[in-house]
Amino acid sequence: MTTMTTQPTPVLEARDVTMRFGGLTAVRSVDFTVNAGEIVGLIGPNGAGKTTFFNCLTGLYVPTEGTVSYKGTVLPPKPHLVTQAGIARTFQNIRLFSNMTVLENVLVGRHTRTKEGLWSALLRGPGFKKAERASEERAMELLEFIGLAHKRDHLARNLPYGEQRKLEIARALASEPGLLLLDEPTAGMNPQETRTTEELVFAIRDKGIAVLLIEHDMRFVFNLSDRVAVLVQGEKLVEGTPEIVQADERVVAAYLGEPFEGDPGEAEAAEVEAAEAAADATSTTSSTKGEAK
Ligand SMILES: Nc1ncnc2c1ncn2[C@@H]1O[C@H](COP(=O)(O)OP(=O)(O)OP(=O)(O)O)[C@@H](O)[C@H]1O
Ligand SMILES: [Mg+2]
């Protein structure tokens, strides 16, 4: 009799990744895995090194130490080769071609999957026109998927902020990735947009694309993620299921400097403040007593 064991298949494996900027170590010896079919959250206070880590994964930065592998092959630290291998990303600060239409932005995202290439797409040569016809159907499919098909001819810069973020996701998906990295996908979104983005991320995962996301919206991250890793001062502090991470008091402590909305840390911070105020009152009383002696 054979027993079925479900071994996770790693899609992304970062080994001992360190990134130094002069004297500052922004990412320190981070081991990190994303498995097929997973949504993984990466959280941590401002300046923890989350975006820097993404930049190391996607070849934007050459890590000072360590390696990044995709589906078992070590990636060369070159953004276009990383995209070609199958990793797509969005940026914390939206990077769209603002004077191009919604559809054109998605078509540009396809350049790694068409032989015409980026310049042909930007210069709109005859090669691009032909590839455009072939790609347009797929691009429109993606626009329908993210709910922006009706705005195909709008200039990207005229879209509201939340829709620009979604368009970036469509552009990333246009490279047909096996892993999608999202850097703060709901930043600047209203609650309604955040909810539809949550559904969108589940739908992306259901298409067989693994997702790694950086977020400060804790409800969003904990609802979505199979696993969450916490980065603090460049180091991975805790990693586990949302339940494990939420219950870890080191995580709360790491955030106490800047409690976030709805976070248990907020209540704790209030408790600590109250306790400190009480302690102050006591010490004032006792020192007054002391002085009176
Ligand atoms: N190119 C760079 N040169 C020098 N220092 C950098 C560079 N990029 C990032 N840093 C520094 O590395 C540290 C980590 O920054 P990073 O942007 O990765 O943080 P983050 O976790 O993404 O924060 P946030 O949640 O605010 O986006 C910060 O101290 C930052 O100033
Ligand atoms: Mg960041």
Query: Which of 176, 208, 226 is the last residue in one of the domains?
Result: 176
Q: Which ligand 1 atom lies nearest to the CA of residue 234?
A: 14
Within this chain, do residues 81 and 182 fall inside the same structural domain, yes or no? yes
Ligand nearest to the CA of 49: 1
Is 166 among the domain residues?
Answer: yes
**pLDDT score, position 265:** 52
- Test site for ligand 1: of 19, 51, 230, most ligand atoms within 8 A of the Cβ: 51
Is 225 within the bounds of a domain? yes
Same domain, 187 and 262: yes
CA of 24 to the centre of ligand 2 (A): 16
Span 94-126, pLDDT tens digits: 889 999 999 999 988 887 766 656 666 677 667
Question: Closest Cα to atom 9, ligand 1: which residue?
Answer: 52
Are 262 and 192 in a shared domain?
A: yes
Residue 171 and residue 104 in one domain: yes
CA 258: distance to chain centroid?
20
Domain boundary (151, 176, 201) is at 176
Give yes or no: residues 99 and 199 share one domain.
no
Print the domain residue range for 196: 9-86+177-268
Predicted TM-score (pTM) of this structure: 0.82
Asked if residue 41 and residue 71 are part of one domain, the reply reads yes
For 102, the token pair is 């919604």
User: What 3-state class would DSSP assign to 191?
Assistant: helix
Average pLDDT for residues 119-144, to the nearest whole number? 78
Q: 45 and 64 in one domain?
A: yes
Rounded to 5°, angle at Cα 262 from 260 and 267: 85
Cβ neighbourhood burial of 146 (10 Å; 0-12, 13-18, 19+): buried
Whether 67 and 133 map to the same domain: the answer is no
Q: Does 281 reside within a domain?
A: no
Residue 268 pLDDT > 90: no
Quote the pLDDT of residue 267.
Answer: 60
Q: Which residues surround ligand 2, an ion (CB under 5 A)?
A: 50-51, 92
* Six token digits for residue 28: 């320190």
Q: Count Cβ atoms below 10 Å from residue 226 Cβ, excluding itself.
A: 16
Mean pLDDT to the nearest integer, 31-58? 96
Both 198 and 73 in a single domain? yes
Do 148 and 227 belong together in one domain?
no
Residues 81 and 183 in one domain: yes
Q: How far is the CA of 51 from the centre of ligand 1 (A)?
A: 7
Classify residue 290: in a domain, yes or no: no
Q: Is 283 part of a structural domain of the chain?
A: no
CATH classification of the domain holding 68: 3.40.50.300
Residue 293 counted as domain residue: no
Identify the domain boundary among 176, 202, 219: 176
Total tally of structural domains belonging to the chain:
2
Residue 98: strand, helix, or coil: coil
- Ligand 1 centre distance from Cα of residue 242 (Å): 25
Residue in 18, 20, 24 to alter for ligand 1 test, most ligand atoms within 8 A of Cβ: 24
Secondary structure letter of residue 42 according to DSSP: E
Task: Tell me how far the alpha carbon of residue 239 lies from the centroid of ligand 1, in angstroms.
Answer: 21
Q: Convert the pLDDT of each residue in 199-232 to its tens digit.
A: 999 999 999 999 999 999 999 999 999 999 999 9
Residues 240 and 115 grouped into a single domain: no
Q: Is residue 78 part of a domain?
A: yes
Q: Ligand 2: distance of its center to the CA of 49 in Å?
A: 7
Share of residues in the chain with pLDDT > 90 (%)? 68
Residue 146 lies in a domain: yes
